[in-house]
Amino acid sequence: MTTGKRRSSGVGRGGALAGKVAVITGASKGIGAAIAESLAEEGCRLALAARSTELLEEAADQLRRDFGAEVLTVPTDVSEEGQAQALIEKTESHFGAVDILVNNAGMGIYGAVDELDLGDLRHVFEVNFFGALAALQAAVPVMRRQGGGTVVNISSIVGKFPQPLGGGYTATKFALQGASGAARAELKRDNIDLVVVCPGLTETEFSQNSRISVPGAEHRQGERHALTRGVDAGRVGRRTVTAIKRGEREVYITLFDRLLVCFAVLFPGLLQWLLIYVTRYRRRRFEQAAAEEN
Ligand SMILES: NC(=O)c1ccc[n+]([C@@H]2O[C@H](COP(=O)([O-])OP(=O)(O)OC[C@H]3O[C@@H](n4cnc5c(N)ncnc54)[C@H](OP(=O)(O)O)[C@@H]3O)[C@@H](O)[C@H]2O)c1
């Protein structure tokens, strides 16, 4: 599902990605690893970034074995100042180009808005928002010199409507959506596409890697708090690559996700009612889990 299909002005022109250089943050597992696989399948040369060196090396070896891909690994913490910039510089000096940047590194934070630890929330903003922005700011001058490129920001359907007890995470994705919309218009003259991908629930280790920001609610870590089952990360990877080729503006993975977002936009009153119901449901789940633990 997609909105705003248009002719690509970035790397996707003609649909051929073979030989293009793609940087993917958060590429050690989950959605980032799946996007890397789909790009390798297209013949891209890859720079994989994440914090865990060992997982990155394993992912890189797999891509070399399966696709004969040229892969550079760059251990990177995007929340640390200067590291996103260094990632782009290392990629350019190794491959001589940066054609595609996929800002995928991300984490969640759970807790009611009035109880969130602001230090935790700032950290999640550093990863999900400022890290992505820093990488974009480093990559754009390179893409300008090359005459074009594509930036992909991995947002979420909760970048479109609030997630109860996930308001902090929602805020990081709303911020990313807002900046992406402006940047897309600004970068048009530089022949740089900006694609936003909004996955819904996807089967990864995301909830295990998220922060819990409610005192006494540490048991939430690793739990799945969703009402539906997630899609396979490979599907998100394949859809992202199609979006890069087409230079799409905003992409949803399933019809259900798309309908949910349409519902949220068209019926804000009903949405609010639904959110109250979902909040009650999730609170009950959390309380049950806490009771079982004690
Ligand atoms: N799973 C879902 O249901 C879902 C739905 C919508 C959107 N998303 C978005 O999809 C993206 C990927 O999430 P995922 O589901 O694949 O989660 P995941 O399995 O937890 O993977 C997260 C990736 O980000 C990396 N990462 C985390 N913090 C980082 C940091 N400070 N610097 C560099 N890399 C970092 C992790 O590697 P290291 O730990 O090695 O650093 C890992 O490679 C996120 O932006 C998330 O918000 C996920």
Tens-place pLDDT, residues 187-205: 999 999 999 999 999 999 9
Band of pLDDT at residue 146, cut at 50, 70 and 90: very high
Which residue, judged by its Cα, is nearest atom 18 of ligand 1? 206
Question: Cα(170) to centroid of ligand 1, in Å?
Answer: 15
- Cα(105) to centroid(ligand 1), Å: 5
Bigger pLDDT: 129 or 228? 129
What mean pLDDT value characterizes the chain? 90
- Indicate which residue's Cα is closest to atom 17 of ligand 1: 206
User: How large a percentage of the chain has pLDDT more than 70?
Assistant: 87
In this structure, which long-range contacts are made by residues 75-78, counting pairs with CB atoms below 8 Å and at least 24 apart in sequence? 75/49, 75/50, 75/51, 76/25, 76/49, 76/50, 76/51, 77/51, 78/25, 78/49, 78/105, 78/126, 78/127, 78/131, 78/132, 78/134, 78/135
Plot region of 43 (φ>0 → left; ψ -120 to 50 → alpha; else → beta): left
Ligand 1 binding residues, C-beta < 6 A: 25-32, 50-52, 55, 76-79, 104-107, 127, 154, 156, 199, 201-202, 204-206, 209, 230
Query: What's the pLDDT at 281?
Result: 83
Active-site residue, from 110, 169, 252, 281: 169
pLDDT at 6: 42
* Residues 86-131 pLDDT 10s: 999 999 999 999 999 999 999 999 889 998 999 999 999 999 999 9
What's the pLDDT at 113? Answer: 92
pTM of the model: 0.93
Q: What residue's CA is closest to ligand 1, atom 23?
A: 26
Which region holds residue 26: left if phi is over 0, alpha if psi is between -120 and 50, else beta?
A: left
Give the residue carrying structure tokens 């936009």: 265
Top-confidence residue, 148 or 221: 148
**Total domain count, the chain:** 1
Given this model, what pLDDT does residue 263 score?
95
| CA 108 to ligand 1: nearest atom | 47
Query: What is the CATH classification number for the domain harbouring 97?
Result: 3.40.50.720
Residue nearest to atom 8 of ligand 1 (CA): 156
Closest to 209 (Cα-Cα) out of 196, 227, 221: 221
The pick from 56, 107, 205 for probing ligand 1's pocket by mutation, whose C-beta has the most ligand atoms within 8 angstroms, reads 107
Residue span of the structural domain in which 178 resides: 2-293
Instruction: Find the 141 Cα to ligand 1 centroid distance in Å.
Output: 26
Query: β-pairing, 192-198 with 250-252?
Result: parallel
Does residue 141 have a pLDDT over 60?
yes
Pocket test for ligand 1, best of 204, 240, 258 (most atoms within 8 A of CB): 204
Task: Express each pLDDT in 62-74 by its tens digit.
Answer: 999 999 999 999 9
Catalytic residue at 169?
yes
